[in-house]
Every structure is written in structure tokens, then in C-alpha cells.
Amino acid sequence: MERRVLLAFLLSLLVLLVYQSLVVPPPAPGPRRDAAEADAAAAPSPAPAARPDPPLAPAAAPVSPDTEAIEAGAADSAITPVVADDRVRDIVFESERVLAVFRNRGGSPVSWELRDHLDQETGQPIDLVPRELPAGELPPFSLVFEDPALTARAAEALYRPSASRVSLGDRVETLAFEFEDSSGFRVRKEYEFEPGAHGYLVRFRATASLGDRRLSPVVEWGPALGGVESSSSGMVYREGPRGVIFGRLVGVEGVEDEDMTRPTASDVLARPSYSGQIGFAGVDNHYFVAVAVTGRREAEVTYRYVPLPPLVPDGPSRELMAFRLRAPDDSIDVPFFVGPKEFDVLEQVDPALIRSIDFGWLGWLVVPLHRSLTWIHGFVGNWGWAIVLLTVLVNIIIFPLRHKSVVSMRKMQEVQPEMKAIQERYAHLKATDPDKQKMNQEIMALYRDRGVNPASGCLPMLLTFPILFAFFSLLRSAVEIRGEPFVGWITDLSVEDPLYITPIVMGASMVLQQKMTPTQADPMQQKIMMLMPVVFTFMFVWAPSGLVLYWLTSNVIGILQTVVTNRVIGPPKTRTVRPPAERRVKKSRKAVGAGKKAKAQ
């Protein structure tokens, strides 16, 4: 039973490894930021020359003109700006956690840097707006009209900003962009920033009209997201951008149940548009998300797969996802969350946003583990020590299960000689022989007489597997531990140990624990089982160091618990198995004695 459980555990981890490395291969890394661009973004007064103005052109939009007036206005080559800026310039918005750069051409952000999250290769802040996009791709918060000419005019216009720089303090700040031309085409964009604990939320408002006619554009978020990471390890891969929708969507068979939908590139090619009562919709990658928080109102979101060429010759290609939102009631007044998938931050904005973190099928167990880990981190201030302490607490909870497992294995070990003697008596029989069933009956009778339950040895071990998988999902998905150090050489708990010290120590602890654990396997099986620590060590070499830290701590606690349990239950009892002839003589004597006693009565 023990051997089967361990083999099942090994196969489960192998399935995880194969799935991570083959089924979901690592995506291409996102665009890098060079130092010159970073310095330009952080400069006190932004200089237009520091950021080259990329060519902007509308993305393809389906359409038919609104009215004949729209067609006439779009075709008029003599249209001149009435309310506009006189030159291209950048407007910087900064808060405690975000440094964003808006360009008056189009009135959209060209950079959205997260100050608390650095690129692991360049050391620069993660920028969620990809750079070096081809012509024809719109930046975030662009407006798309039914008439492509109006879309192009709105994207190329030099909007007049309400400020040259915005710093978020203790009150609400608004950055507005206005544009109007001689054809009566007017557009106003507003970005409202609220002070708070996170600073990743921005409310976007937009109005557009042509003469006296109010227009109803949709919001386009161009290719996203930047900051995509990759790793050579299959166990710590980073997911690329994909759609993320939460709500009650309208499907082929009607309105579906409220749930998460994560359309990938292949899904988008088959079904680009989704509508219904949407709570939030947008694009995410492994650690970050950009979504419109529509609040379970009727809305429609359309996705577009955007494959891009590599940034450098012979480099990996980039695969991004753009989305277009038709806001509720055709009015553009929607909050957008653009930031990391930090559990507490998402919960502050909207409890449903927690669903954007893909914890997998064990989410019901990962969420309380995440809350507990965050709570412990609030006291110790180090995510590595928080993992250690949480592991200790988890092992205290499952202590009775482990104790029962060790006791049951000890009993199985004690009856092993008698069980083998029974098996040897029936070894000459074929498996199809009816008398073979007597062997199983004798073994079950032996278990009953000795108070042994074979299932009680493996069941407690099986119950610990979900906890391991939940920790794997937690430490793989939690942005909170991304880039967080532990001690010494472990500078990032979300990636593998650079010196491979913890995996090797973990393997050694598995060897020691296996030698201390009672077993009923024969010597040959025991030698085979000793290969398990080698296999596990090899697998955990590329696992996140936070996960290895959990498994190592759990092994050390298991060793200590085995020592305590062995002292409590004492040394194993040795039983001498009598030869078959002696047993038959004893049985016959008992039968004769019983017969004489019956006659005397």
C-alpha cells in the first residue's frame, strides 16, 4: 500500500511537470525597457524628444457610417483644429505605486509603470504598455467609432490636456484631454484617480459628438500586456496574455451561470465576442491584469489575437491580446484596474476580482492558505519565514493524521512475517484457484486479530497531497512573493534556488525520513523506493524556491514527528512464526482437549 501511494504521488508530480513544460510552454518575453526611456519617463518635466512619437493608425473596425453628415465631415480635407494642443508632448501621472505617461496625441497612456514590481532581467519597473508596436495598433483607452475616418482622427488628434503633470496626493485628481475641429467633431477624455491603499484604479470617462449628434464609440485597449516574463524552467513558466471575463455570459444555449472565462488565442479565433452581465473583462498575464470593472452590467467585449515579430533578430516572437469594450448603456464611464494581482488589493476594488488569479481546481484550498500566509507575513515581514511558519501550522493540524499513519505502518510491519507465512502456504496455487481466496480470508483475519487497518496507513498520506498541490498553485501564482528574498542566496522565492542548495538538502531529508518510516516492503522494493528521493530532488531543482522551502520544512517536521511517535509507541514487537507442522500439532491438541472437555461435561 505504501509503495502504491508513493508511486501515485510521483506520477501526480510527473503529470504536473509534463503539463507545465509541454502543454503550456513558456511564452515569449515582453518588450524590454532601456535605461534612456526609463530616465525620460521619470524626469520631472517630460521632454517630447525623450519619447519618439510612434505612428498611430486605427485598428480595423467594422463599419458603416453613422450618417451622411459623418461621411461628409470625414471627407472634408479642409478640417482644422479648433480646440487642440500646438505640439506633441507627454503628461506624467505619478502616485506612490504608479508612474504613467500620457501622450496628448490620442490622449492615451504610452507607459504604465509599476514602481513596486521590477523586471527580473533589467531591474527596471514593469511597464504594462508594450513598446515597439507596429503601425495600426491603438494604445490603451482609444476610442473606436463606426466610421474609420473618425477613429483615425481621434487617434491622431493633439488633445489639449488639463495639466502638464499630475501627482496623486490625498484627494481625487483628474486629467482631462479635449479636442474639437471645424467639422464639429468633439472628443473629451477624462482619467480620474482616487487616493487609496493601492492606486491602481482609474475611472475612464469619454464623450464624443459630431455637431449636434452624440456618438457612441467603444473603448479599445491595444495589444496587452507588457511585462510578460519567461523562464527556462517548466515548473515556473509565466503565462502570456489572455482574455479574462467574469460574469453571466450569453452562450449558444442561452445565459450561462456566473463563472470565469479565460479565452486564449485559439478560443478568440473561434469566438472573438462575449456579451452578457459582465462583472469585469480585460486581459491578464501571469502576475498582472488590465480589466474594466463593469459591475455585472450588460456589456460586450471583443478580443483580437495580436502576434508580433521578435524584438531582436532570431529572438522569440511576442503573442499579445487586444480587447475592445462596449460599455454598459453605450456610456463610457467605467473604472479600470491596471496593476498586479495582489490578493488584498483586488479584494479592495471588487471581491470578484480575486477570481482573476488562476489558482486552478484547488482554489477552495489555496484561498485560505493565501490569507493565512498574508496574515503571518504581516507579523514576520519576510515571505520565506512566513512560508516556514505556515508549514509548521499546517503540520500541527495534520499531526494526528501523520501519527495514525506511522502507528498503522508499525502494526503492518509487525504482522509482516505472519502475512508472508500465509502467502507462502498458498504460493503453489494458481491465481484462478478457488482455494486462493482462503489466503485473503486468513490475511483479513490476521489484520482483525492484530487490530490492523491497511487503509489507515495510506489514507493520511493521501490527505496531504492536496495541501502540496495547493502550495504549488499558491507559490506559483502569488505576485506577493515575486522578487521577494528569503535569506542569503535566495533572492526570489518565485524562481528556482540559484545554487540548488535547498533541493539537495530536501532530497537528503527525504532519504532520512524514508529510512525512519516503518515499511513492510521487501529488501528489493526498499532499494527501489530509495530512488524516489533522487527523482524528487531532480524535479524540485527547477521548482520555485518557496515551494522547495515548504517541502523541506515539512520533511524536517515529519522526521521530528516520527522520532516522537517511535518513542511513544516503543520499539517494534517481533513475532516468531511457527512452522506449519507445529501449528497443525497445536491445533490437533486443542481439538482433542476440547473433545475431552465436552465428554466430561
pLDDT per residue as tens digits for the range 226-259: 765 544 344 444 566 889 999 999 876 778 888 9
Q: What is the mean pLDDT of residues 1-15?
A: 53
- AA identity, residue 189: K
User: What pLDDT, in 10s, does the model give residues 458-491?
Assistant: 666 677 778 878 888 888 788 898 889 998 899 8
Q: Calculate helix-pair angle for 383-397, 545-569, nearest 10 degrees.
A: 30
By the 8 A CB rule, do 501 and 513 touch? Answer: no
Considering the chain, what is the average pLDDT of its residues? 78
The structural domains of the chain, with segments of one domain joined by +, span 38-358, 376-569
**In this predicted structure, what is the pLDDT of residue 15?**
54
Burial label for 446, CB within 10 Å (0-12, 13-18, 19+), is middle
Which grid coordinates belong to 205?
Answer: 470617462
CA 531 to chain centre: 31
Range ranked top by mean pLDDT from 336-340, 527-531, 563-567: 336-340
- Within 10 angstroms of residue 363's Cβ, the number of other Cβ atoms is 18
Q: Is residue 211 predicted with pLDDT exceeding 50?
A: yes
Using the structure block, give the residue that is written with the C-alpha cell 504536473.
Answer: 16
Task: Give me the pLDDT at residue 143, please.
Answer: 95
- The mean pLDDT of 187-209, rounded to a whole number, is 90
CA distance 120 to 496: 13
Which residues, at least 6 apart from 527, have a Cβ–Cβ distance to it below 8 Å?
A: none
According to DSSP, residue 171 is labeled: S
Give mean pLDDT, residues 404-432.
Answer: 77
**End-to-end Cα, the chain, rounded Å:** 49
Does the structure show a pLDDT above 50 at 57?
A: no
Cα 490 to chain centroid, rounded = 21
Q: From CA 204, how far away is CA 532, in angstroms rounded? A: 56
Q: What is the pLDDT of residue 8?
A: 53
Cell digits of residue 500: 540548488
**Average of per-residue pLDDT across 210-218:** 91
pLDDT of res. 537: 86
Higher pLDDT, 329 or 381: 381
Using 50, 70 and 90 to split pLDDT, how confident is the model at 411?
confident
Query: What kind and span of H or E run contains 191?
Result: strand 185-193
Rounded CA-CA distance 46/476 in Å is 38
Say if residue 370's pLDDT is above 50. yes
pLDDT of residue 383: 94
**pLDDT of residue 322 exceeding 80:** yes
Is 558 in contact with 402 (CB distance < 8 Å)?
A: yes
pLDDT band with cut points at 50, 70 and 90 for residue 397 = confident
pLDDT of residue 94: 92
Question: Which residue's C-alpha cell is 520533511?
Answer: 555
Q: How far is CA 570 from the centre of its chain?
A: 45
- In whole angstroms, what separates CA 487 from the centre of its chain? 24
Give the confidence band of 280 by pLDDT, cuts at 50, 70, 90.
Answer: very high
Among 24, 102, 574, smallest CA distance to 319 is for 24
In sequence order, the β-bridge partners of residue 188 are: 178, 207
Cα atoms found within 13 Å of the Cα of residue 96, Cβ hemisphere only: 9
Concatenating the DSSP letter of every residue in 536-566 gives: HHHHHTTS-HHHHHHHHHHHHHHHHHHHHHH
Angstrom distance (rounded) from CA 305 to CA 308: 10
Compute the distance between CA of residue 433 and CA of residue 356 in angstroms, rounded to an integer: 58
Question: Could you tell me what percent of the chain has a pLDDT over 70?
Answer: 75
**pTM more than 0.85:** no
CA distance 296 to 245: 11
Q: Which residues are within 8 A (CB) of 296 and not within 5 positions of it... i.e. 6 or more apart?
A: 247, 248, 277, 278, 279
φ, ψ at 112 (rounded to 5°): -145, 90
For the chain, how many residues are written? 601
- How far, CA to CA in Å, does 298 sit from each of 206, 232, 260, 293, 308? 18, 42, 16, 12, 32
C-alpha–C-alpha distance, residues 144 and 221, integer Å: 10
Cell of 373: 500566509
User: What amino acid occupies position 214?
Assistant: R
CB neighbours of residue 519 within 10 Å: 17
Nearest to 269 by CA among 336, 228, 319, 330: 319
Give the separation between CA 386 and CA 371, rounded to whole angstroms: 11
Q: Which pLDDT tens digit goes with each residue over 112-142?
A: 999 988 887 778 899 999 888 888 889 999 9
Cα atoms found within 13 Å of the Cα of residue 224, Cβ hemisphere only: 31
Report the pLDDT value the prediction gives residue 283, as an integer from 0 to 100.
94
d(CA 250, CA 582): 78
Domain spanning 38-358 has what CATH number?
A: 2.70.98.90
pLDDT value at position 590? 56
- Angle, CA of 45, 162 and 54, to the nearest 5°: 60
pLDDT digits 0-9 by tens, 531-567: 778 888 888 888 888 889 998 998 899 888 888 877 8
Instruction: Give residue 292's region: left, alpha or beta (phi > 0; psi -120 to 50).
Output: beta
Which helix (H) or strand (E) is 375 found in, with range? helix 363-380
Q: Average pLDDT, stretch 378-401?
A: 90
Using only C-alpha atoms, the chain has a radius of gyration, in whole angstroms, of: 33
